[in-house]
Chains A and B, each alone.
Chain A
Amino acid sequence: MSNNIILQVEDLHTAFFTRKAVIRAVDGVSFFVREGETLGIVGESGCGKTVTGLSLMRLLPEPSGRIIGGKIIFDGRNLVELDKQQMRAYRGKMISMILQDPMTSLNPVYTIGDQISESVKLHQGLPDDMVEKEVISALRLLKIPAPEQRLNDYPFQLSGGMRQRVVGAIAMSCHPRLLIADEPTTALDATIQAQYIALFKDIQQKTNVGIIFITHDFGVVANMCQRVAVMYAGKIVETAPTSVIFKAPRHPYTAALINSVPRLDRSKDDRLDSIEGQPPSMANLPPGCRFAPRCTVVQDICRKQEPPEVKVGDEHSVSCWRVN
């Protein structure tokens, strides 16, 4: 891991414009990713994790979704300002993405060889025999057994775990510098999950790719990420190095999330903690701190004013009135 920052997101705002309301799915999010580093973005369903990922790819569902503010600085350029053509040159080449469900993310009517070589041909402009070599090396990178024979297989001939490796091979085939993994292990069995994570740690060592790992599972974060950003209702409420966040979470939401992860060192008679209530509707946010309605240590001010972001340690900042 170097100190070389490849992605800097500043005050990103993404909204969906529907007939009834404007939904601010991502509301002023800032973070950065270094080369060879994994940043975890954690939060409940609907908190804006996936929309953040899609915003970085500039692949929001059209025409309703739009980036309405902020900067996405990648490799010295602001991606928000690029036109469609320019953005396409980044996608799949410099920035890649892995989707959640391997059963649906591969095209059922094309062979996996075809689906991987498509990217290679498009972005690297290689002659045909070189393309096949690149495809096989991508399959090898993902530790897919007998890659030469897999080229002519169709997705339905592979297991879920293997398919997710193929999706990984597509993502890594053009040697991207940033990989956005949107819950890539959620749809996999627990044993396959662990394998997949180990595989990506290994790939990161070999390629020095920066990874944004979107997940709702703090267990996965502990395993995979150097730093974590905790998202709640479209905002990042706490960001810290992984080692710090498990020992000393400062935001009540982070603490509650960590407490809701099953652990081996707890008595089996202990009930697993859960967070009362539901996340607020993004179309109708409460005033003040968005977590206030569910917070167990809520104060008066929390319901009136949004807490500012406060730096509490090395690369550790929190937005909570309790911290001030």
Chain B
Amino acid sequence: MVRFIIIRLLQTIVALLGISLLIFLLVRATGNPIDLMRNPSSSEADIINLKAQFGFDKPYPEQYWLFMKGIVHGDLGKSILRGKPVTDMILQAAPNSIRLGLTAFIIGMVTATLLGVLAAVRRDSWLDNVVKFLAVLGQALPGFWLAIMSIWVFSVYWHILPAFGTSGPANYVLPVGCLAFFLLPGMMRLVRSSMLDVLDSEYIKLARIKGLPERVVIWKHALRNALIAPLTVAGMLFANIITGAVILENVFAWPGLGKMSVDSMIARDFPVVQGITLLVAALVLMVNLLVDITYAYVDPQIRYQNT
């Protein structure tokens, strides 16, 4: 297991190197930030000056080298737009995003598992039909539309929930709810179908033959087997939560990384975009590693292969 984790950590570092190069080149493909900063009266000398100030006059390999060197020292450079160190900006915005994302992720996964299991256990009941309907609905509705509609219904029409801000628990309800709903359908459908397969298996029959109460049959014998496949997807859904957050943070004016990344992309604020993307990539990779470790915990066969 330790060997497995070390190998995966090394793979993660290689992946991050690749991502850093990719994002470095991709942001530069969008154009030049100086073009957005110049005003009609600025002279050629001013522009050369500005370029030198941000280091854009150097050749790409050198710029990339400096970028990498900075990362090792924990320095992601300075924001072109705000002049502040990117690290500080990220540290300021990240907690907001983490609170939003993590709460939504946990609520989404737990609800999806519960509903998926119950729908499978009571197949073709009204509950199952509701779950199936929710799944189709959730996969068909775009996240931003749902967010805007929920603001309209709960904030504008009924005045029961705030539409933006981060001041109190009430502010979390809409963004967290929308983000969790964004994750719910896929996971729920997967848990349901996986659970149906497991419930049909011989070892579930044997568990009942033993005289175990249904509660134990479902939540002990069936669930653990039924979660193996959805677990992988949960890791991938974590990446979804970040794309979801980018959209929802903008709709709800949530001062997190998602909003910050969109703002900086529009302004071609390279250092900020690079910093956030790299951080998010690292996060997704770490979560996937965590999923693989959990996987080994849930399925003993994998645990034994890796030792």
Closest to B303 in A: A154
B contact residues, range = 20 to 34
Q: Are B224 and A104 in contact (CB under 8 A)?
A: no
B158 within 8 A of A: no
Distance (Å) between the CB of B296 and the closest chain A CB?
A: 11
With A99-B202, A105-B203 given, is the CB distance from A90 to B300 under 8 Å?
no
A97 in contact (CB, < 8 A) = yes
Query: Does A105 contact B225, Cβ atoms closer than 8 Å?
Result: no
Which of B16-24, B138-146, B206-214 makes up part of the contact surface?
Answer: B206-214
B201 at the binding interface (Cβ < 8 Å): yes
Give bound CA distance, A100 to B201, whole Å: 12
Say whether, besides A104-B202, A123-B211, A167-B206, A154 and B304 are in contact (CB < 8 Å).
yes
1/0 contact trace for A133-177 toward B, CB 8 Å?
Answer: 000000000000000000000101100000000010011000000
Indicate which residue in A91, A104, A109 contacts B300 across the interface (CB closer than 8 Å). Answer: A109
Cα A122 to Cα B213 with chains together (Å): 10
A166 to B192, CA, bound (A): 30
**With an 8 A cutoff between CB atoms, is B159 at the interface?**
no
B301 touches A156 (CB 8 A): yes
Contact of A93 among B202, B203, B211 (CB under 8 A): B211
Q: Which of A95-148 contact B (CB under 8 A)?
A: 96-97, 99-101, 104-111, 118-119, 122-123
Q: Is the CB of B209 within 8 A of A109?
A: no
CB distance from B117 to the nearest CB of A (A): 16
Give the CA-CA distance A59 to B206 in the complex, in Å: 10
Q: Which residues of A contact B203 (CB under 8 A)?
A: 104-108
Contacts of B208 in A (CB 8 A): 59, 91
Q: Is B62 an interface residue (CB 8 A)?
A: no
- Number of A-B pairs, beta carbon distance below 8 Å: 73
A294 proximal to B (CB < 8 A): no
CB < 8 Å: which of A123, A154, A170 contacts B206? A170
CB of B206 within 8 A of CB of A108, answer no
A92 touches B224 (CB 8 A): no
The answer for the CA separation of A104 and B198 in the assembled complex, in Å, is 11
Closest residue of chain B to A156 (Cβ to Cβ) is: B301
Contact of A122 (CB < 8 Å), options: B211, B224, B225:
B211
- CB 8 Å contact bits of B56-76 with A (1 = contact, 0 = none): 000000000000000000000
Given A107-B221, A109-B299, check contact A91 B206 (CB 8 Å): no
Whole-angstrom CA separation of A156 from B299 in the bound complex? 11
A88 located at the interface, meaning its Cβ lies under 8 Å from any Cβ of chain B in the complex: yes
In the complex, how many angstroms separate the beta carbon of A169 from the nearest chain B beta carbon? Answer: 12
Q: Give the residue among A100, A109, A157 with the most B Cβ atoms within 10 A.
A: A109
- What are 29 inter-chain pairs, A to B, with CB distance below 8 A? A89-B211, A92-B209, A92-B210, A92-B212, A93-B211, A97-B209, A104-B202, A104-B203, A105-B203, A105-B205, A106-B206, A107-B207, A107-B221, A108-B299, A108-B300, A109-B224, A109-B298, A109-B299, A109-B300, A118-B212, A118-B216, A119-B210, A119-B211, A122-B210, A156-B300, A156-B304, A170-B206, A170-B210, A171-B209
Given contacts A88-B212, A104-B201, A108-B299, 5 further A-B contacts (CB under 8 A): A99-B206, A106-B206, A109-B298, A122-B210, A157-B304
**Closest 3 pairs (CB-CB, A-B):** A91-B211, A92-B211, A92-B210
